[in-house]
Amino acid sequence: MSGRAWVFGDRIDTDVLAPGALMKLPAAALASHCLEAVRPGFAAQVKPGDFVVAGRAFGVGSSREQAAISLKLLGVRAVIAQSFARIFFRNAFNVGLPALILEDAAQIGDGDALDLDFRSGRLTDESSGETFQVQPIPEHLLQIIDAGGLMAYLKNRRSGSAAAP
């Protein structure tokens, strides 16, 4: 299954992912404003399975988990960036949104068709024919993603339906 690459630059902060002035909105309404300050129409045009690709320090700024939640609600399959702000990186996995580090992220073009195998870390840019190796996701984080986020993972573990890492 392929998804479209939505390419952004460096230092995409949480204020453009989940605008502070709109934080009192319900999650779905907040998500409809995701990235509009840097790419008007993104929230309306992104499709489930698409990828956000960015440069350095993605998710810098406030420690709001709504930034990762907004992307997840819009159906973003994964965020691929050269680097992440630590709190965004953790919040992404906590809500079940894969955040993958790829030093060569700048080689991916806006609108390129991407295919990603989370387990192997193999990312294929079907538009250019290039293949990249993202940093592999540790097994315990894959379990959280598979469960749909940290809370679902913990609930499953408590009920005995998920193996301990």
**How far apart are alpha carbons 119 and 35 in whole angstroms?**
28
Looking at the 3D structure of the chain, how many domains does it have? 1
CATH of the domain at 30: 3.20.19.10
- How crowded is residue 48: how many other Cβ atoms within 10 Å of its Cβ? 10
pLDDT per position as a tens digit, 9-51: 999 999 999 999 999 999 999 999 999 999 999 999 999 999 9
* Domain-located, residue 149: no
* Domain-located, residue 158: no
**Over residues 134-159, mean pLDDT:** 93
DSSP string, 86-130: HHHHHHHHHTT--EEE-TTGGGSPTT-EEEEETTTTEEEETTT--
pLDDT per position as a tens digit, 124-136: 999 999 999 998 8
Whether pLDDT at 161 is above 70: no
**How far apart are alpha carbons 86 and 89 in whole angstroms?**
5
- For 133, the token pair is 């190796």
Residue with token string 């790419």:
39
* Domain-located, residue 16: yes
Whether pLDDT at 160 is above 70: yes
- Residue ranges making up the domain that contains 11: 3-136
Output DSSP code: residue 50: -
* Domain-located, residue 162: no
* Domain-located, residue 159: no
**How far apart are alpha carbons 6 and 116 in whole angstroms?**
15
* Domain-located, residue 55: yes
* Domain-located, residue 18: yes
| Dihedral over Cα of 45, 19, 17, 27: its sign | negative
Q: Confidence band (pLDDT; 50, 70, 90) for 1? A: low
- Percent of the chain with pLDDT strictly greater than 90: 89
* Domain-located, residue 164: no
Whether pLDDT at 118 is above 90: no
